[in-house]
Structure 1
Amino acid sequence: MENHNNEYFVKEQYKNSDNLNARINLHTFNINKTDWNVWFFNNMNIPENAKVLELGCGNGLLWKKNENMIKENWNIILSDLSQGMLQSAKQNLNFKNIKYQIIDIQDIPYDDEVFDIVIARHMLYHVPDIDKALSEVRRVLKPAGKLYVSTNGKAHMQELAALVKSYDKNIKYNLQKLPEIFGLENGGEMLRKYFKNISTEEFNGQIVIYKAEPVVAYVTSSNVVRELLMSQNKLDSFYKYVEAEINRSGAIKITTNTGMFTASNS
């Protein structure tokens, strides 16, 4: 089974943007046509002259999707554990006020009370020591600063996990694992150990898809699942299984259940 909060796993899984892009692509079939990155950005309040740190920035899509909203007086640092991800972000963005840096959220290399805004999107469940991470975030935030953090709920994409299990019950593809570590249901309680004020916003939808390729690409974006299917020569078989399920039911429908927390001490 994949150890999702193992540093080696995270670096291998996200050493470049290929796996992430496969996951993003499936979400383009969501009947909720509000763009997730635009929704998230619009739920933030970034003040003038703000110093902003994003931890686990991935390919920088949050900023690419909202590039017309980026203010020149913001000082933005995009960070990730993966050099490959940072390279993708650099290629996607061209702003003089954005800098790029490899940073471990458990050991942020900045002095106390430096940032007005810290962003951690869909990444805390990968962190080995979440308490240490949140303690570091609180330390580097200014007294009036805010943390914006996103994650999934337990209902997120459970139909996809059921699809994989129905194909082969021996494949360990537990999509509840991540929200059990840090999710919409338990994230607020974890944040309250470090922040006085917590608010939650949910972003829900449903993926409705009529072709197999994006579904298979999403599932096999898990290195462990892909290697297992390939080692057993089952990749083609799984593709045909997904096609058959679509032909049988007309479409594959997958619930999406995500959201964000806003945390502060002011």
Structure 2
Amino acid sequence: MTDPDETAAHYKDSSKLAVRGGFHARFAGRSWFGWFDERLGLTPGSRVLDVGCGPGWFWAACQRLPEDLELNLLDQSAHMIEQAIGRLSHLRIGQAVVADAMHLPFPNASFDTVVAMHMLYHLPDPAVALREMHRVLVSGGRCIVSTNSPRNLPQISDLSRVAFGSAIDDVVQARFGTAIALDLMKAQFSDVSQQTYADVYEVDDPEPVIDMLLTMPPGDKADAAGRQRLQDAVADLFTVNDGLVRMQSVQDMIVGTRAA
């Protein structure tokens, strides 16, 4: 999704996101949140902005947040912001705003760290958002983003293409896949580095696969024929794999620094 209105409608609440989150929570061998938390490297008193914070699940799961952290939240969905504020009442929240990631409503040099997790590929122009993140960072501040590797959950993308003719990962890779993300980050920041999370999901139940694909574009708008093709394709996949499908999850974390 790169159309702003379509993205806003899809993420007006967390219901579809919760279905996908449930799939990952059930089948992941280790926690993506825990892995990302270990590598944030936040310092006491840091002013942090989370762009596209969603319902705040990540920060609620963090175990390594330093003392006196000021967490600022931004999302295009008022419902997501409301959920995040309620979920994160134990943290020191600075500002929590409903706004566009491509037009950050903050003065220059407002934050020590800006984080954008798995959301820049939804924007019409991720480069504009990165320029805005650069603007609101202090000198020496860090921009930390994440995206899907092209090797992420290949069976999910293949099923979507068979059932619906395309996959959301086609958009992800074209807009902000790992290679493009690295290039865009290097255009704005110095000392750009990449770390890769990898896991293997052992999926032994076809229903969560179907449910997840029906919450993702283009499956979320599938007609009856498309849903039936999905049912058939998933059944075939599980039959060929004797009821246990191993899926590789690969995510990339990219970090850059605003030069002094």
TM-score for both structures, normalised by structure 1: 0.88
Q: How many angstroms does 1:48 deviate by?
A: 1.8
Q: Quote the RMSD (CA, aligned, Å).
A: 2.0
What residue number does 1:262 align with?
Answer: 255
What residue number does 2:48 align with?
Answer: 52
Write out per-residue CA displacement over residues 90-139 of structure 1, whole angstroms, 9 at most, x where no aligned residue. 23222351142112121111111110010001111111122221111111
Q: Does 1:11 align with 2:12?
A: no
What residue number does 2:192 align with?
Answer: 198
Whole-Å separation in 2 of the counterparts to 1:180 and 1:165: 16
Q: How many angstroms does 1:25 deviate by?
A: 1.6
Q: What code does the residue aligned with 2:158 have?
A: A
What residue number does 2:246 align with?
Answer: 253
What residue number does 1:185 align with?
Answer: 179
Write out per-residue CA displacement over residues 146-171 of structure 1, whole angstroms, 9 at most, x where no aligned residue. 011000111112211222334x3x53
Overall identity of the aligned pairs, in %: 23
Q: How many angstroms does 1:240 deviate by?
A: 5.7
What residue number does 1:80 align with?
Answer: 75
Whole-Å separation in 2 of the counterparts to 1:194 and 1:234: 42
Whole-Å separation in 2 of the counterparts to 1:75 and 1:177: 33
Q: Does 1:176 align with 2:173?
A: no
Aligned residues: 257
The aligned runs of 1:141-180 (5 Å cut-off) are 141-166=137-162, 168=163, 170-180=164-174
TM-score for both structures, normalised by structure 2: 0.90
What residue number does 1:113 align with?
Answer: 109
Q: What code does the residue aligned with 1:155 have?
A: R
Whole-Å separation in 2 of the counterparts to 1:65 and 1:263: 24
Contact 1:55/1:103 (8 A) holds in 2: no
Question: SS of 1:40's equivalent?
Answer: helix
What residue number does 1:242 align with?
Answer: 234
Write out per-residue CA displacement over residues 24-55 of structure 1, whole angstroms, 9 at most, x where no aligned residue. 1221244532x111111111121221111000
What residue number does 1:92 align with?
Answer: 87
Q: Extract unaligned runs of 5+ from structure 1.
A: none
Structure 1 residue ranges (4+ consecutive) displaced by more than 6 angstroms after TM superposition: none
Question: SS of 2:256's equivalent?
Answer: strand
Whole-Å separation in 1 of the counterparts to 2:108 and 2:237: 54
Contact 1:154/1:180 (8 A) holds in 2: no
Contact 2:138/2:258 (8 A) holds in 1: no
Where is the helix percentage greater, Structure 1 or Structure 2? Answer: 2
Residues 130 and 164 of structure 1: is their aligned pair in 2 closer, same or farther, counting only changes over 3 Å?
Answer: closer
Contact 2:116/2:145 (8 A) holds in 1: yes
Whole-Å separation in 2 of the counterparts to 1:248 and 1:124: 35
Whole-Å separation in 2 of the counterparts to 1:28 and 1:96: 24
Q: What code does the residue aligned with 2:234 have?
A: V
Q: How many angstroms does 1:257 deviate by?
A: 1.5
Q: What code does the residue aligned with 1:85 have?
A: M
Q: What code does the residue aligned with 2:255 have?
A: T
Whole-Å separation in 2 of the counterparts to 1:19 and 1:133: 24
